[in-house]
Amino acid sequence: MRYWSVDDNAEDFAGARQQMVKRQLESRGIHEPVVLRAMGSVPREEFVPAEGRARAYHDGAMPIGQEQTISQPYMVAIMTQHLVTPRVGAGGGRKLLRALEVGGGSGYQAAVLSFIAEEVITVERVPELAERARETLSRLGYANVEVITGDGSLGCVERAPFDAILVAAAAPEVPSALKEQLALGGRLVVPVGSRGLQELAVIRRTETGYHESRGTQCVFVPLIGEQGWRGQ
């Protein structure tokens, strides 16, 4: 895996961020302009622990405490791209109305989603992480993101339906509660498989039901909750 170790100043971080977009994303097929713009704009260094800031643009996941991680930039980008293609379209187009993230972690993925949706709800089960994400997102001015503490495997029924749902944790199967909270035409992206290896499932709600496809292999922390893995 590759990473750029940078000094702790805004100019170096900005340069590392642009290198990440070119070398880790564009070279691997991330092509949606709105996704590339988001990934090139959100300061990942603000969402990692202080001791990890110099490696913020590492080509891989990084620990953020509480046995959780901030996802690899490429994984953040490809999951976001699955949500918007082809609805947002070239040049960005209009934003989706409402997006839900399950497994808020540091708040980084929610910040990226703020570029594609008018409103982002992110659910994190660990109170300490939820509070830290809430503070970071507020400090950086992501006013259209709301952090909720709770069991994300159940979604957020009181705010449904959602045009996009992204699950940043691995489920043994696609949670039915999340499928039911999709708006017509909405998309759900979730890693599905064993605790050790998963593949991304992309589900689209249609007038006649749900269409599912699977592809990219990945490894995420487990989705703990009523419709995920039970217990630790």
Interstrand relation of 162-167 and 96-102 (parallel, antiparallel or unpaired) = parallel
Q: Rounded to the nearest 10 degrees, how much is the dihedral formed by the CA atoms of 27, 137, 160, 118? A: -70
Say if residue 88's pLDDT is above 60. Answer: no
CA atoms within 13 A on the CB side of 183: 15
**Any idea which architecture 61-218 has in CATH?**
3-Layer(aba) Sandwich (3.40)
CA atoms within 13 A on the CB side of 130: 17
Q: Where are the domains of the chain?
A: 61-218
pLDDT score for 149: 98
**pTM of structure:** 0.92
What's the chain's average pLDDT? 92
Report CA-CA distances (Å) from 178 to 62, 142, 156, 190. 26, 24, 8, 10
pLDDT score for 11: 72
Say if residue 92's pLDDT is above 70. Answer: no
In whole angstroms, give the CA distance from residue 10 to residue 6. Answer: 10
Say if residue 89's pLDDT is above 50. Answer: no
pLDDT score for 3: 43
Say if residue 232's pLDDT is above 90. Answer: no
Confidence of residue 8 (pLDDT cuts 50, 70, 90): low
Portion of the chain with pLDDT greater than 70, in percent: 91
Portion of the chain with pLDDT greater than 90, in percent: 88
Q: Tell me which DSSP letter residue 174 carries.
A: -
Residue (of 151, 60, 145) closest to 102 by Cα position: 151
Catalytic site residue from 71, 106, 114, 153: 71
Question: Is residue 176 among the annotated active site residues?
Answer: no
Residue (of 104, 113, 152) closest to 132 by Cα position: 104
Residue in the block written with tokens 């045009």: 163
Ordered alpha helix ranges (H), the chain = 10-20, 33-41, 73-84, 108-113, 127-139, 176-180
Interstrand relation of 145-149 and 117-124 (parallel, antiparallel or unpaired) = parallel
In whole angstroms, give the CA distance from residue 143 to residue 120. Answer: 9
